[in-house]
């Protein structure tokens, strides 16, 4: 039986049942059973041990931002509807994109991103035309497009692998740490809503 905050008994009772990978609840009203209500894993639970990508992250409604922050902080996603409460593991890497002209990002959410990158669109007409030509070429014949750029992709992959191998030997002077911290603090100050 469920009890209200005043301690009075309610006529609803609940029994949890395991069904494949999810739990479901069978509600009983005065001894009569209702059909089971299945609990499905949500987006945060499915992102567990993976990447959660959010497009237009600055346009998320506040209640979704709150749920995202709770899951990021605790490592679990909690769903509570009426008297049903379900908890799933939700440890994920958060990746988000946004257009700063459409609105600011809440400071609490901004702190959850370990890296911020400003991407600027090229304004050169020749470069823009080449982007469109390459996109059309890919759409027309993806395998031919991939083959045409395979050598450059392979060379870039080798450069990245070599940089990763050297990373452990890189030593950054203390003054660079201080300069980076100063730039980060200034960037966050500019992004915070007034």
pLDDT digits (tens, 9 = 90+) for 139-151: 999 999 999 999 9
Query: How confident is the model at residue 39, as a pLDDT?
Result: 62
CB atoms within 10 A of CB 52: 18
CB atoms within 10 A of CB 154: 10
The ranges assigned to domains in the chain are: 1-40, 43-119, 125-191
**How far is it, in rounded angstroms, from Cα 132 to Cα 150?**
19
C-beta of residue 90 within 8 angstroms of C-beta of residue 75? yes
Name the residue with higher pLDDT: 152 or 172: 152
Query: How confident is the model at residue 152, as a pLDDT?
Result: 94
| Partner residues linked to 37 by β-bridges | 25
Query: How confident is the model at residue 48, as a pLDDT?
Result: 84
**For residue range 65-115, what is the model confidence (pLDDT) as tens digits?**
888 888 888 888 887 777 777 888 888 888 888 888 888 888 888 888 877
Cα-Cα-Cα-Cα dihedral sign, residues 56, 58, 60, 65: positive
What three-state secondary structure class fits 7? coil
Looking at the predicted structure, is the pLDDT value of residue 190 above 50? yes
What's the pTM value of the predicted model, to 2 decimals?
A: 0.50
Query: How confident is the model at residue 194, as a pLDDT?
Result: 52
Structure token pair of residue 21: 């990978």
Name the residue with higher pLDDT: 160 or 10: 160
**How far is it, in rounded angstroms, from Cα 60 to Cα 97?**
11
Structure token pair of residue 172: 């950054």
Residue with tokens 């600055």: 58
What three-state secondary structure class fits 44? helix
Query: How confident is the model at residue 32, as a pLDDT?
Result: 47
Query: How confident is the model at residue 57, as a pLDDT?
Result: 86
Structure token pair of residue 157: 């992959």
**For residue range 3-58, what is the model confidence (pLDDT) as tens digits?**
334 444 444 444 444 444 444 444 444 444 444 555 667 788 888 888 888 888 88
What three-state secondary structure class fits 13? strand
User: 129 falls in which pLDDT band (50, 70, 90)?
Assistant: very high
What three-state secondary structure class fits 92? strand
Looking at the predicted structure, is the pLDDT value of residue 126 above 90? yes
Upper half-sphere CA count for residue 31 (Cβ side, 13 Å): 0
Query: How confident is the model at residue 19, as a pLDDT?
Result: 45
Q: 43-119, what's its fold?
A: Rossmann fold (3.40.50)
């Amino acid at each position: 039986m469920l009890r209200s905050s005043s301690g009075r008994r309610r006529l609803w009772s609940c029994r949890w049942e395991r069904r494949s990978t999810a739990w479901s609840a069978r509600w009983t009203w005065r001894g009569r059973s209702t059909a089971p209500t299945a609990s499905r894993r949500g987006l945060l639970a499915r992102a567990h041990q993976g990447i959660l990508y959010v497009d237009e992250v600055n346009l998320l409604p506040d209640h979704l931002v709150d749920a995202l922050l709770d899951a990021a902080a605790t490592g679990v996603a909690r769903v509570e509807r009426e008297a049903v409460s379900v908890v799933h593991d939700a440890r994920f890497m958060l990746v988000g994109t946004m257009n700063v002209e459409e609105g600011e990002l809440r400071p609490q959410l901004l702190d959850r991103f370990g890296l911020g990158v400003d991407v600027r669109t090229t304004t050169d007409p020749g470069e823009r035309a080449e982007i469109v030509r390459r996109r059309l070429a890919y759409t027309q014949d993806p395998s031919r497009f991939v083959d045409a750029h395979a050598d450059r992709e392979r060379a870039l992959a080798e450069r990245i692998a070599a940089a990763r191998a050297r990373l452990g030997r890189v030593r950054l002077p203390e003054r660079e740490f201080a300069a980076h911290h100063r730039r980060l603090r200034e960037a966050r100050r500019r992004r915070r809503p007034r």
